[in-house]
Amino acid sequence: MDLPAARRRRSSGRVTLNDVAREAGVSPITASRALRGERGVGADLVARVQEAVRRLGYVPDPAARALASSRSTQVAVLVPMLSNTLFVDLLEAVHRTLFPAGYQSLIGVTHYDPDEEEMLLRSYLAHRPAGLLVTGFDRTEASRQLILASGLPCVHLMETTEAPGVYCVGFSQTEAGAAITEHLLSRGRRRIAFVAAQLDPRTMQRADGYRRALRQAGCYDARLELLSPDRSSLALGAQLFEELLATRRDIDAVFFCNDDLAQGGLLAAHRLGIEVPARVAVAGFNDLDGSDQMLPPLTTVHTPRFEVGEAGARMLLQLMRSDTPVPSSVRLPYRVVVRQSS
Amino acid sequence: MDLPAARRRRSSGRVTLNDVAREAGVSPITASRALRGERGVGADLVARVQEAVRRLGYVPDPAARALASSRSTQVAVLVPMLSNTLFVDLLEAVHRTLFPAGYQSLIGVTHYDPDEEEMLLRSYLAHRPAGLLVTGFDRTEASRQLILASGLPCVHLMETTEAPGVYCVGFSQTEAGAAITEHLLSRGRRRIAFVAAQLDPRTMQRADGYRRALRQAGCYDARLELLSPDRSSLALGAQLFEELLATRRDIDAVFFCNDDLAQGGLLAAHRLGIEVPARVAVAGFNDLDGSDQMLPPLTTVHTPRFEVGEAGARMLLQLMRSDTPVPSSVRLPYRVVVRQSS
DNA sequence: CTGAAAGCGCTTACAG
DNA sequence: CTGAAAGCGCTTACAG
């Protein structure tokens, strides 16, 4: 054991593919192919390899695999913010779909900042992920180039486009915004305010839907929009609702761009003694936890984030297998949930 | 270019450490050392290497690094559930501390299931993380062994122990549970109910604190505990509150083990026309988003999850540098936040 | 303080 | 359908 070769060993005692191959009486290449389910390997050999794996307790080394194949089993998933529970649900669905297929989610939170997204992208791309899941289409030109140059399969979540070669799963934020506005119109409301925070692209698409619906009804009034770049929260919703009521006294409805704001607005209405929906109807967006518990229960749009996460992950799985998903753009249904606040 | 050697090339065109070394006129080993800030490299050489890195746009390959050093720059972080925004805050603080130091968080969600934690641990350990951040101490024996056998630095979050060799940052869930109960006692309440969901270890520690405080005051009554193994949510809080009021009519206060339950309870009280705090005082735990907006604003315990995340990540950073953190167990302060619900 | 050699544990590309 | 050789891009261990 004092041979130079032995002294140079750095072996960690880890069970390697070589050990498995020897145990199964095949070559390492065959063992590798058998493990990865590459077809063209005899069924008997596959069985022998799997048995050897079980007996030895072999665990493949992702680092070695990534180095040799220049592709890991990690999928980078970029979302704006976890305090918006919408994205927690999305991640949950992504994880449930990807993990059983052998992929880990490498979660990145961009805080709605394109520059931060670009930085995360650089960092994660170095890890040779097997694929990319990103939120929406709004990013820096450099980010776009990074994604393109990586040549990695990439699926865009939450929004859709028909641009060729772009894979995406989402729903129409604009139409959903219009739908909830039309619901308020159908209740006889005419002075419908729009209150938004964060002002990210999807929020502004909802704003577009709101505007379109009101213009169509001949009720649009730009002064009824209250937009704040601050982070969305119940407290901000309450504050904006108060501000709205103090400055636009004739409104008869409010569409909040997210349920947390709407919940805050509803609580503020209580505090101010403003009757909902008698005096003002209130609607939210996303159908988050607690909205059905509010007083009165909140009318909102139930968005298919679980479905988006699952379908998006499935599409990515196809791309990673070099299959071509058809269609490349999937638009999922949302649902207006009418409760007592409108 | 038709030499056998050339035909076998798989080069991805990637800029490698070799390129950097050549550009800087040093050996790859020296370049490697200079990049990792290993001391014992001449300052002039370090500068030349860094200049070459900049010029070539070199990005180190984490897979190759992990394979060669059997250590990656990823830190596995295991939390129970992201729908409890407590853990979103924790992760945020962890990421803010680890990322600038060159580490990525590999987030794993256990869903409060020790078996799922074990599975995630196996999967993540294969990735040779540089360190481990786990929630609490309650896990399978196999998980414990996996962590031990990995030899990786590991910091436990949210709870503390004085057991030697165990690194942890948290606060006393038991004392915090006792403190909020004592606050209710100090308000003259004597029939104080305890309502809990999920029933994870930390929830049960809060229950212990509740019991201890009430026993000390001679007010403990086991029938005032309402424990549900279901997932915590506003809806469940509302339901449990109704159940409590229907079956324990003489209570004068409720301590909910988490703010989401308490918020649901407060909303249920409104619906039922039960005055808070006149008829029943209500207290929560964690001080989550919206608790200050409730009607009335919720009395709760503000828990130091940002601080736990940051201090825990810092401690892990020390361990990964092979420093020995002193002390090995850090107990952070919580704060009883008295609002109008009590 | 710097370097030449070997190796980490896989997979790719070629051959048969 | 199976395999021997080379290589992925780093770092470790040894030497000077």
The secondary structure of residue B233, as a DSSP letter, is -
Q: Which of B127, B152, B239, B294 to mutate to test the interface with A (most CBs of A within 10 A)?
A: B127
Check whether B10 has a pLDDT greater than 70. no
What is the CATH class of A173-302?
Answer: alpha beta
Residue with the larger pLDDT of the pair B98 and B62: B98
Same fold, B4-60 and B174-302: no
B332 φψ region: left (φ > 0), alpha (ψ -120 to 50), beta (else): beta
Check whether A7 has a pLDDT greater than 60. no
Give me the amino acid identity at A2.
D
The pLDDT score that the predictor gives to residue B140 is 97
Task: Report, as an integer, the average pLDDT of A30-39.
Answer: 85
Check whether B258 has a pLDDT greater than 50. yes
The pLDDT score that the predictor gives to residue B91 is 97
The pLDDT score that the predictor gives to residue B4 is 38
Give me the amino acid identity at B21.
A
The pLDDT score that the predictor gives to residue B44 is 85
Q: How confident is the model at residue A8 (pLDDT cuts 50, 70, 90)?
A: very low
In this complex, which of A59, A63, A85 lies closest to B72 when CB atoms are compared?
Answer: A63
How far in angstroms lies nucleotide C9's C1' from the CA of residue A21? 13
Q: What is the CATH number of domain B174-302?
A: 3.40.50.2300
The pLDDT score that the predictor gives to residue A278 is 97
Residue with the larger pLDDT of the pair B78 and A38: B78
pLDDT tens track for B26-75: 888 888 888 888 877 888 888 888 898 999 888 888 889 888 888 888 99
Task: Report, as an integer, the average pLDDT of B249-266.
Answer: 97
Percentage of chain A modeled with pLDDT above 70: 96
Check whether A304 has a pLDDT greater than 50. yes
Q: How confident is the model at residue B7 (pLDDT cuts 50, 70, 90)?
A: very low
Task: Report, as an integer, the average pLDDT of A172-178.
Answer: 98
Whole-angstrom distance, CA of residue A135 vs CA of residue A142: 16
A249 φψ region: left (φ > 0), alpha (ψ -120 to 50), beta (else): alpha
In this complex, which of B99, B264, B293 lies closest to A267 when CB atoms are compared?
Answer: B293
- In this structure, of A69-78, A214-223, B274-283, the range with the lowest mean pLDDT score is A69-78
The pLDDT score that the predictor gives to residue A12 is 64
Collect all residues with Cβ–Cβ distance below 8 Å to B300 and sequence separation of at least 6: B180, B259, B262, B283, B284, B285, B286, B287, B291, B336, B337, B339
Say if residue A277 is preceded by a cis peptide, omega within 30 of 0. yes
Evaluate if the CB of A10 falls below 7 Å from strand D. yes
Evaluate if the CB of A35 falls below 7 Å from strand C. yes
Whole-angstrom distance, CA of residue B82 vs CA of residue B236: 17
Superfamily of segment(s) B69-171+306-334? Response regulator (3.40.50.2300)
Check whether A10 has a pLDDT greater than 60. no
A128 has a chain B CB within 8 A of its CB: yes
Residue ranges of the domains in chain B?
4-60, 69-171+306-334, 174-302
On whether the A70-171+306-333 domain is CATH 3.40.50.300, my answer is: no
Q: Give the CATH number of domain A4-60; options: 3.30.460.20, 1.10.260.40, 3.40.30.10, 2.40.160.10.
A: 1.10.260.40
Check whether A93 has a pLDDT greater than 60. yes
Q: Which two tokens stand for residue B43?
A: 């300052």
Q: How confident is the model at residue A11 (pLDDT cuts 50, 70, 90)?
A: low
Q: Which of B71, B83, B107 to mutate to test the interface with A (most CBs of A within 10 A)?
A: B107
In this complex, which of A60, A88, A106 lies closest to B83 when CB atoms are compared?
Answer: A88
The pLDDT score that the predictor gives to residue B12 is 64
Q: Is B6 exposed, middle or buried (0-12, 13-18, 19+ CB in 10 A)?
A: exposed
How far in angstroms lies nucleotide D5's C1' from the CA of residue B42? 39
Whole-angstrom distance, CA of residue A160 vs CA of residue A171: 6
